[in-house]
Amino acid sequence: MAKTARTCNTCVLDETTPGVSINADTGLCQFCEHFTPLPKEKKEEYRTRMDTLLKSPPHQGKYDVIFALSGGVDSSYTLYRLKKEYPDLKILAVQFDNGFISDTALENARKFCNLTKSTYLRLCLDQKALRDTFSKAAVSRDAYPGTAKYRASDICNTCISIIKQKIIELAVTTNSPYIVFAFSPGQTDAPFVTLTKPFLVWMRKIFDGNLKSMGVTERDAYLIDPNLIRPGSPEPRVTIIHPFLIWEYNKPEFKKECLKLGWIDPDLKDHNSSNCLLNAFAIKNHLDKYHIHSYAFDLAALVRQGNMKREDAQEKLKVDNSDPSIQEVEHRLKG
């Protein structure tokens, strides 16, 4: 009789996923076995630090915060709440147009910028070159390390890395002290990241290497301007903040709140994105290549931390290969 794959008793990871092992005695995956919840005092300490930074920013440039806005639930809610809690912040909200964001996401982003009186910037790069880059990411193998493969698909890792590089570049050039990303507590562990020049040089080099191994030849447009981090240039004075490691994370509640504020549900078939048409294709591509659902580790972490119900995460992990966006994206990437 065939042996059935075991699923962790706590989260949603199962042993069919490469790198996941389930302890036969405890029934837990290695991540749940070694998990230590963040102590309450630590969370309070982070909260105080965020309040200190955002209540009285140094006003060193035109903006206090460069905000990464996708137009999805998490980032729309974060923008709204940031402005509600810190009304004096001058925010530049940047929406990266990767050529696959839905019209609804564009509309939601503009709406939430108006609502919060934030400046809106639609960041556009050469669309044909981007399509070519995503195609290369789709056919690549092992361009990103094992750890990155657990966090996101090769396509999403490419897109997110471009966004990070360009947002950091914007923060440095506008002399803005803070960058805010609405990453979920399953996607990152560090509530604050202070950027230094050697760190940025290193990160640029790593991403350049990832792109190179995918066969991307024109890479400069995706990377931080090297002049900003060359020897002798001023030290960047930028800190990245991830508020979802400090606030409670409750996506259904965020969605309710956003809908009340006029956010429109794009009603995509994909359970994991409310803004990007690439996502369903990217998930399938990752599963086909590595047998890893690119949201499994993120959702597992949310369940482990008590931020999501296990059955909700399991629902999100269901893959619908009949999603028409998969064929549409495949076709557009080939073109």
Partner 1 sequence: MDETREDILYFLKTQGFLNEKTVLQEHDSLSETGVIDSITLLQLVDYLESKYSIQIPVETITPENFDTLAGICQTVMKLKNG
The binding site for partner 1 (CB under 8 A) comprises: 19-20, 30-31, 33-34, 142, 144-148, 150-151, 188-190, 193-196, 198-199, 202-203, 205-206, 209
The full 3-state SS of 214-279, as one line of letters, equals HCCCCCHHHCCCHHHCCCCCCCCCCEEECHHHCCCCCHHHHHHHHHHCCCCCCCCCCCCCCCECHH
As measured in angstroms, the least distance from the Cβ of 28 to partner 1 is 12
Tally Cβ neighbours within 10 Å of residue 260. Answer: 8
Residue 50 vs 329, nearer CB to partner 1:
50
As measured in angstroms, the least distance from the Cβ of 71 to partner 1 is 23
| φ, ψ for residue 152, nearest 5 deg | -160, 165
Rounded (10°) angle between helices 278-290 and 154-173: 130
As measured in angstroms, the least distance from the Cβ of 212 to partner 1 is 12
Residue type, 211: L
Longest dimension (CA), the chain: 67
Residue 213 vs 314, nearer CB to partner 1:
213
Residue 188 vs 314, nearer CB to partner 1:
188
As measured in angstroms, the least distance from the Cβ of 196 to partner 1 is 5
Residue 206 vs 259, nearer CB to partner 1:
206
As measured in angstroms, the least distance from the Cβ of 287 to partner 1 is 18
Cβ(80)–Cβ(115) under 8 Å?
yes
Residue 216 vs 329, nearer CB to partner 1:
216
Nearest of 240, 244, 239, 250 to residue 183 by alpha carbon: 244
